[in-house]
Structure 1
């Protein structure tokens, strides 16, 4: 396996220590720290309740991120979604690969390879990547709203690499 330098721009404010990539402040934390916190919350709340909370929060964050990044880079339409998947992949969450996207229909599917969650959880017989699900609908809806569309969407994880018979995850987006 070849190693490469990070591909996303990072600036650090010398006075505050705040990291910024493109137009947004960022946090840089070890994967084990993040996933262990995630697992701890899941243990208390249950996976279904936690997934619902993360869907709503992730949706909101993805909308904000896409809005700011579109502004920062002069992007619109599918280019915003592609940029979002690229940046998520560059941040170590996994490799997000768009399988298809149709803004006129409000649909998309995204394959997830090398999920940070699957690396830690392993094969547990259930989906563990649910944190990402709301991100896809939030991104799609921001892009649709920016182009004047009234379509709003919902995302779901079809399967995950943590389930038997699957090495990767698949997420779909469709209209409400």
Structure 2
């Protein structure tokens, strides 16, 4: 994939933008080391819950903004979201399957930033599910699709397979599963 990501830098403020959204550019090891330390400080469960909520809101907002910027509707905006994530160094994201009418999806992640950073610049090696930071992103984007298309579901997303587990399970990529919540929880 040749990243054709438009990056504009404001000469007066130094603010970077892509598609008119402000961006921050940091080295991978810096971000992952901060992520690992935050997880250690507050515990994985609490940290994952907070990241899920923040990621959900951010993905929903991103889809809303990008739909206006590029005139994208429904699933086309979600596909654009995965493309943009893939162009920003998080890893390569693609749909294994997706059904916008029901809120079901499986997203494949190859070359996850969290898996690739293990053992580099002080990042510990861990054979667990490491990529949970992305889970809220995928339900936030799917729920935006629901609202954009008039569907009534709300979804939940979980990391169901991680490449970091490879020693035990033989996975070469991560998988996230998006499913609709039962109507009572939606």
TM-score bracket for the superposition, by shorter chain length = over 0.9
In structure 2, the residue matched to 1:156 is 158
SS at match of 1:29: coil
TM-score, length-normalised on structure 1? 0.94
In structure 1, the residue matched to 2:122 is none
CA distance in 2 between partners of 1:97 and 1:174 (Å): 17
1:174 to 164, 171, 179: 179
In structure 1, the residue matched to 2:33 is 36
For residues 36-57 of structure 1, what are the alpha-carbon distances to aligned partners after superposition, in whole Å with 9 as ceiling and x for unaligned? Answer: 0001101111211111110000
1:100 to 97, 101, 110: 97
For residues 62-106 of structure 1, what are the alpha-carbon distances to aligned partners after superposition, in whole Å with 9 as ceiling and x for unaligned? Answer: 000010001100001111111000000000000001111111111
SS at match of 2:147: helix
Matched, 1:17 2:22: no
**5+ long unaligned stretches in structure 1:** none
Matched, 1:118 2:120: no
CA distance in 2 between partners of 1:80 and 1:99 (Å): 17
- Residue 27 of structure 1 and its aligned partner are, at CA, apart by 0.5
In structure 2, the residue matched to 1:138 is 140
CA distance in 1 between partners of 2:113 and 2:84 (Å): 15
Runs of 4+ in 1 over 4 A off after TM superposition: none
Higher mean alpha-carbon deviation, 113-122 vs 149-158, is at: 113-122
SS at match of 2:26: coil
CA distance in 2 between partners of 1:97 and 1:150 (Å): 24
CA RMSD of aligned residues (A): 1.3
**What is the aligned length?**
173
In structure 1, the residue matched to 2:149 is 147
